[in-house]
């Protein structure tokens, strides 16, 4: 699966055209007189990506969670090699693996708003992961660490944060989360973690400034230790 850095490289090489959102709106308008076509498009895995996002953005967390969890098993269905070449079938399988992690990650974010039963359901699904999830897996473990932190389980939160870093060492926000826990608990020095975050992606500096604005000495040490090249 793709790491944060690989995502950035692909985005730089193949930028999404500025007119894409307008094209999607236009497509929905054109399909409006054809309810069957709209239902058909919305029922596909790709169509559900957008629907889950819209439901979550609209704070319809229950509906978004249920749709995401309902879609996850569909992502594990193998592609028949009768209809696809081996290379194309492998590419589709990899895409479905990305979908699997995407939907579980969105379910996890919604579970934060819903309750312990939904969080347990997310955890129960994890063993069926088709393959390591790269950035998506890191984001999921980062989210799960926050659950543990809210439950006053600092040890569990830090362990999951460590797993997030291991899932994708190029995703800077896992380092920031771990640094937050380290700073609050005093169990680790947060500075090396923040330095690693900036080395992974210098753009994370703005996020660090907001997260640690009450720790000016730490921020000053970070600026001194991680000067832009």
Predicted confidence at residue 205, as pLDDT, reads 93
User: For the chain, which residues score pLDDT lower than 70?
Assistant: 1-43, 77-93, 227-229
Task: State the average pLDDT for the chain.
Answer: 81
Predicted confidence at residue 40, as pLDDT, reads 46
pLDDT digits (tens, 9 = 90+) for 77-116: 654 443 444 443 445 567 778 889 999 999 999 999 999 9
Predicted confidence at residue 176, as pLDDT, reads 97
pTM of the model as a whole: 0.74
Predicted confidence at residue 163, as pLDDT, reads 95
Burial class (CB in 10 A: 0-12, 13-18, 19+), 165: buried
Predicted confidence at residue 78, as pLDDT, reads 59
Predicted confidence at residue 17, as pLDDT, reads 52
Write the DSSP assignment of the chain as a string of letters. Answer: ---HHHHHHHHHHSPPPTTHHHHHHHHHHHHTT-HHHHHHHHHSHHHHHHHHHHHHHTT-HHHHHHHHHHHGGGGGPPPPTTTS-HHHHHHHHHHHHHHHHHHHHHHHHHHHHH-HHHHHHHHHHGGG-SS--HHHHHHHHHHHHHHHHHTT-HHHHHHHHHHHHHH-TT-HHHHHHHHHHHHHH-SS-HHHHHHHHHHH-GGGHHHHHHHTTT-HHHHHHHHHHS---
Confirm if 113 and 61 have CB atoms less than 8 A apart: yes
Predicted confidence at residue 19, as pLDDT, reads 42
């Amino acid at each position: 699966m793709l790491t944060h850095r690989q995502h950035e490289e692909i985005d730089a090489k193949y930028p999404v055209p500025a007119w894409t959102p307008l094209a999607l709106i236009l497509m929905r308008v054109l399909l409006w007189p054809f309810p069957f076509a709209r239902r058909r498009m919305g029922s596909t895995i790709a169509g559900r990506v957008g629907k889950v996002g819209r439901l979550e953005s609209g704070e319809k967390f229950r509906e978004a969670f249920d749709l995401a969890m309902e879609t996850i098993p569909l992502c594990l269905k193998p592609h028949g090699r009768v209809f696809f070449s081996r290379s194309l079938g492998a590419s589709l399988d990899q895409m479905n693996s990305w979908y699997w992690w995407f939907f579980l990650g969105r379910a996890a974010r919604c579970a934060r708003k819903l309750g312990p039963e939904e969080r347990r359901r997310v955890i129960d699904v994890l063993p069926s992961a088709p393959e390591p999830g790269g950035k998506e897996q890191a984001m999921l473990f980062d989210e799960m660490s926050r659950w543990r932190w809210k439950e006053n389980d600092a040890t569990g939160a830090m362990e999951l944060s460590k797993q997030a870093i291991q899932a994708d060492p190029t995703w800077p926000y896992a380092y920031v989360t771990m640094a937050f826990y380290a700073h609050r608990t005093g169990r680790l020095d947060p500075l090396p973690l923040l330095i690693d975050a900036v080395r992974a992606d210098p753009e994370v500096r703005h996020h660090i400034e907001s997260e640690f604005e009450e720790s000016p000495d730490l921020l000053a040490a970070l600026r001194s230790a991680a000067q832009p090249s």
